[in-house]
Structure 1
């Protein structure tokens, strides 16, 4: 791994859409019949010494005056000292029954209607990276200068706080820091997915895929260093909790990460719901701490197709000040609805479908700082099973399992604001590679200043659509 040029590592690793669960996991009882559930303890409301010994401390997040605990919350003194440790969700699920997770057709050279003459390479399926002119992709339009001719993210470090990252994937083997990566759940596994799903592996490929041997997928910043913090459990039936994610994000800042990709969130809620104020306060403290360490928390805006502007709707943590929110865009009909008869006639040297239109599932309004490529889909084509509809999704690294349960690297499509956020995380890595000392506030402002206008305007794109070439040009 490359040395991190901006900060020294200070501390080793410690220790969709649906209704928000009030607790992460079932409420149970010990032998005495006492309640045992997950909750957060606010150390600004109660002294650490007043927390009873029979309350188990799962994470000590003293940097922001919080504990993640398990036991009886009523045993902790002070009516406002505890808040439920609610469940968090991955943002790769869509509100209308559209695609969730990756499409079944995956792997190099998946044939579709646009490929009557030969099969596409993986990088030809990466419409997002081709549009961004990231690197030396097959049939790169114009053969001009690419973003990675200036930097590939050398010297930067980013955290992927997610389902874990499979570092055995050839496109990720050289970028994951296995010493700093960690598991923040209560299961006994390591930072790898271990049954928690390949969401984090897909996200990591968008950020830092190395296109191994020219046959893989190319990420925005293939020379960055990834720290994988797993917050989704590999144990069936156990999800991810607020306490685990807050601890993982706090440690990412302490470890000197330039950005933490958090393609995770909560369904839109009424601000008056019991759990909201406590969870919002926890993320507010986290954001303040991250800023003090010059780390940017990049968060997916959510996939409920909800306007987050009205006062009676809140989407966390996107709307928390200091969290960088990203909405999603994508094409409709990339390759699959083109009637031209052959690959040669397709004209891959120029993307013919606009990629900046808002994705049909994306949240919008309050909390969106910029938009980025997260994938789109034609719902009618998806439901009818029209071949090739999945080309509009984002193509990246995934992991499958063989008959013996052993992980097997692969490639596949996903759509969601989950896929848009890592486009921005990769941009942070590129920027910090060029300007190691730029502050988080300065860099956020620059990403917004260099973003370009897109259909739907500020409501859907915030300051605009991510423009890597303009960003890198300003930083050179």
Structure 2
């Protein structure tokens, strides 16, 4: 995100081009497509195709895809979504005419291209011996003390019956602080065109994939006398790799991830990203409308299976309750400026039932970069603010310290780091109250959050107006902090 998901710097990108496919007849009962002479060869693109969630209907759509010269990558019959590929620039236009097809959308704007994903700043070795009962780096974990994790651990470290899905760039399952908690049997890669791949190597992070391992450490780094400690150090982690080696989270990856989470009945998932290539998916665009429908169906499927999904609010300092302009889309080719409205959604953050998390620094104030929005943000959590909120810790680093690949530890900041704090607290809640439904867990999280009112006067960190933002709402429900800043200690004592 460009601080909203996984930051990336683009480099050489070449689309894969295939020879023009010959014209094939559509299955009987399918609307007639444009003649072959109108076909135009372009880059190979991926498409999401929405239909009814039943075997017969999905099969008909698959036949329609192949009859148009396309390829079926994978079908999710559970939700009625077919992932397809074609190099015909009129593929979506033709397929929309097929009987039983509800919507079709290109899930990217450039064929199979890449860039690099976010790297953490490696932490120096601890300068002093840890206090009795603490981990070596724990003195630098201001975020954990801020939300009462040390006190919560006197009540609960989490349960092995709880699995948290980390939908991200993969988890280093060999890391000394994570190896005991990563469950390989429930881990998967979704970046092979949206098709699940359970091979161990497939869901390990790529060369620049620090992000997922960092997120995982915040949630559940083991309490083992090494490195740091996570919020719920006894729960299981499932790596669900939805970020490719270019740092992109395309719709088919996210769809695969949410269906996987539902099929494996994870208690909670963490989603520190927005779905590429559109920051906001608007209903008046056929491609974006199809993307929204497909991702919405996947999220709803996971929710029906008892999964509670947590997502980052984003790092663009945008008021999600009053959207006006998108300057970042499409991010896999050349972004432009376009008007947007509140009907245009950030996925999965703004989908029903998803917990949206904004970011605060050590002082408890909104981080300068954090997006916000009354009625959008559910809760706030520590995500770091190195510019304006510096903690009194040995490292004096305002960002979040966590695990990174290679057995190392590093600093990152963003709503990507805030979201796993909420996920970790929910994992503790699910451990303490195994009977609780996703709705009940959400109520427990929000009811025990520490109320935080809007700031008095204009919010403008640094005074230049660069990060100016307007907070709406009262002390217990506002656009910056939602119901408040999460509190692990109070959450695990919810019954008191």
Normalised-by-shorter TM-score class? 0.7 to 0.9
Q: Equivalent residue of 2:157, what SS?
A: coil
CA distance in 1 between partners of 2:219 and 2:75 (Å): 29
- Deviation (angstroms), 1:425: 0.9
Q: Match of 2:183?
A: 177
Q: Match of 1:17?
A: 2
Whether the 8 Å CA contact 2:4–2:414 is kept in 1: the answer is no
Distance 1:328 1:475, change over 3 A: same
Distance 1:380 1:257, change over 3 A: closer
Q: Equivalent residue of 2:404, what SS?
A: strand
Distance 1:18 1:434, change over 3 A: closer
- Deviation (angstroms), 1:48: 3.2
CA distance in 1 between partners of 2:14 and 2:58 (Å): 27
Q: Match of 1:375?
A: 384
Q: Match of 1:78?
A: 97
Using structure 2 for the length normalisation, give the TM-score.
0.72
- Deviation (angstroms), 1:242: 1.0
Whether the 8 Å CA contact 2:136–2:228 is kept in 1: the answer is no
- Using the TM superposition, name which of 195-204 and 59-68 deviates more: 59-68
CA distance in 1 between partners of 2:45 and 2:108 (Å): 11
CA distance in 1 between partners of 2:376 and 2:2 (Å): 18
Q: Match of 1:305?
A: 317
Q: Match of 1:467?
A: 487
Are positions 1:201 and 2:216 aligned together? no
Are positions 1:393 and 2:410 aligned together? no
Whether the 8 Å CA contact 1:161–1:260 is kept in 2: the answer is yes
Using structure 1 for the length normalisation, give the TM-score.
0.75
- Deviation (angstroms), 1:274: 4.8
Are positions 1:109 and 2:121 aligned together? no
- Deviation (angstroms), 1:58: 2.6
Which of 126, 134, 154 is the equivalent residue of 2:141? 126
CA distance in 1 between partners of 2:243 and 2:376 (Å): 25
Listed as ranges, the gaps of 5+ residues in structure 2 are: 22-40, 110-117, 129-134, 324-340, 455-474
Q: Equivalent residue of 2:349, what SS?
A: coil
Distance 1:455 1:101, change over 3 A: farther
- Deviation (angstroms), 1:434: 1.4
Which of 422, 430, 438 is the equivalent residue of 2:436? 438
- Deviation (angstroms), 1:288: 2.0
Listed as ranges, the gaps of 5+ residues in structure 1 are: 1-15, 88-99, 112-119, 136-145, 332-353, 382-386, 400-407
- Deviation (angstroms), 1:206: 0.2
C-alpha RMSD of the superposition: 3.2
Distance 1:110 1:70, change over 3 A: farther
Whether the 8 Å CA contact 2:181–2:235 is kept in 1: the answer is yes
Whether the 8 Å CA contact 1:175–1:208 is kept in 2: the answer is yes
Q: Match of 1:340?
A: none
- Deviation (angstroms), 1:280: 2.3
Distance 1:446 1:319, change over 3 A: same
Q: Residues 240-265 of structure 1, C-alpha deviation per residue, up to 9 Å, x if partnerless?
A: 31111111121112101001111111
Q: Match of 1:115?
A: none
- Deviation (angstroms), 1:239: 2.9
Distance 1:223 1:475, change over 3 A: farther
Distance 1:130 1:284, change over 3 A: same
Whether the 8 Å CA contact 1:283–1:320 is kept in 2: the answer is no
Are positions 1:243 and 2:242 aligned together? no
Distance 1:447 1:186, change over 3 A: same
Which of 149, 156, 168 is the equivalent residue of 2:154? 149
Q: Match of 1:453?
A: 451
Higher relative contact order (CA 8 A, sep 6+): 1
Q: Match of 2:414?
A: 416
Q: Match of 1:7?
A: none
- Deviation (angstroms), 1:286: 2.5
Aligned residues: 391
CA distance in 2 between partners of 1:321 and 1:77 (Å): 27
